Amino acid sequence: MLMNNNEYLAVIESIKGEIKAAQYKAALNVNRELILLYHGIGQAINEHKVWGNRFVENLAQDIKIAFPGVTGYSVRNLKYMAKFAALFPDTEIVQATLAQITWYHNIALMDKIKDTERYIWYANKTAENGWSRNVLVHQIESGLYERQVLTEKVANFETRLAAPQSELAIQTMKDPYVFDFIPFKEDMVERDIERALVQDVTKLLLEFGTGFAFLGNQYHLNVGGDDFYIDLLFYNLNLRCYVVIELKTGDFKPDYAGQLNFYLSAVDAILKKPEDQPSIGLLLCKSKNKLVAEYALKDMSKPMGISEYRLTSALPKELEQQFPTADDIRNRISNDTQPD
């Protein structure tokens, strides 16, 4: 029967894939045209600033009269268009990069970012990873650019991996990693943190970045009849390699690197396929001495990096509002100590 024919089903899947791709391209083209339109309107507004603040208000009213069913031309949005055009006078940059994300993403970037270099970096990452507006805002507020681009990373990737694998591995690293979905407790041990991480794998993968596939925690390896357990094991589709992650609740110690080096050797021998790139490791510690960490990695044979991590230490906003601020306490003390 035709409905059960494998060739027919394959053709149907192929056609559905083409339809989805065409829909995506159509949506992208519509979005691109809208962003370019807004950019052009913003340029026109900026060119006629001499007409004063009433110009934007009159423009919003006239557009509403001319196009009564069209939205997106409020005074507030027109001012965003002017800001957008002022930030990026070059239309080519807008077309090549900023038109790849929605106007609402661009508004979020305008609200959160003043530096155009960071703005473009976040726009590229949004298009690359398909972030929603909320995820974009979260990444900005967690300081992703600072943690991934500006930080001095402690790793031996350049000497243990060939290019471009080494560059990709370095770009993947962050320092620190922010696990702000885990509430901090004083007596937490490695297993507590690990358990909390895997309970919300979606947020964990968001923090690690694009391309990471979670394979398991306490991943069992048998080496020469002895049992060993890797804290977290991933496969990175972009790097085409296994990623071994070890968690430590205290300061970094040099022997941690030796342990990770052993795990990487075991993964390469047991799990790695000929088409896979060499496995890489990541030690996540509560804190580290940068020089000690660099010395520890110097003679390790396997590619690895060392980063710190942060857990949630602040109170939830709804509880934070119920407690006095430092200024409230100081004022209260000051008032209590004043003579009657």
Residues 113 and 170 in one domain: no
Mean pLDDT of the chain: 87
Residues 183 and 112 in one domain: no
Inform me whether the pLDDT recorded for 320 exceeds 80.
no
Residues 162 and 289 in one domain: yes
CA distance 301 to 16: 47
Structural domain including 81 reads 2-145
pLDDT at 340: 45
Q: Give residue-wise pLDDT tens across range 120-169.
A: 999 999 999 889 999 999 999 999 999 999 999 999 999 999 999 999 99
Query: Is 335 domain-assigned?
Result: no
Query: Is 152 domain-assigned?
Result: yes
Inform me whether the pLDDT recorded for 244 exceeds 50.
yes
Inform me whether the pLDDT recorded for 323 exceeds 90.
no
Residues 166 and 305 in one domain: yes
pLDDT, greater one: 274 or 315: 274
Residue ranges in 97-253 assigned as alpha helix (H): 103-112, 116-129, 133-141, 144-145, 157-160, 165-172, 190-199, 201-208
Mean pLDDT of 113-118: 95
Residues 222 and 302 in one domain: yes
Question: Domain holding 247: CATH number?
Answer: 3.40.1350.10
CA distance 264 to 279: 6
Query: Is 322 domain-assigned?
Result: no
CA distance 336 to 334: 6
pLDDT at 22: 74
Q: What percent of the chain has pLDDT over 70?
A: 87
Residues 100 and 193 in one domain: no
Residues 235 and 158 in one domain: yes
pLDDT at 8: 61
Residues 252 and 298 in one domain: yes
Confidence of residue 24 (pLDDT cuts 50, 70, 90): low
Joined tokens for residue 256: 């941690």
Query: Is 320 domain-assigned?
Result: no
pLDDT at 25: 67
CA distance 199 to 205: 12
Based on the structure, what is the number of domains in the chain? 2
pLDDT at 308: 95
Query: Is 214 domain-assigned?
Result: yes
pLDDT at 336: 46
pLDDT at 12: 66
Q: Give residue-wise pLDDT tens across range 37-88.
A: 999 999 999 998 778 778 999 999 999 999 988 899 999 999 999 999 999 9
Helix (H, G, I), strand (E, B) or coil at 219: strand
From 115, 145, 175, the end of a domain falls on: 145
pLDDT at 333: 42
pTM assigned to the model: 0.77
pLDDT at 53: 74
Residues 167 and 290 in one domain: yes
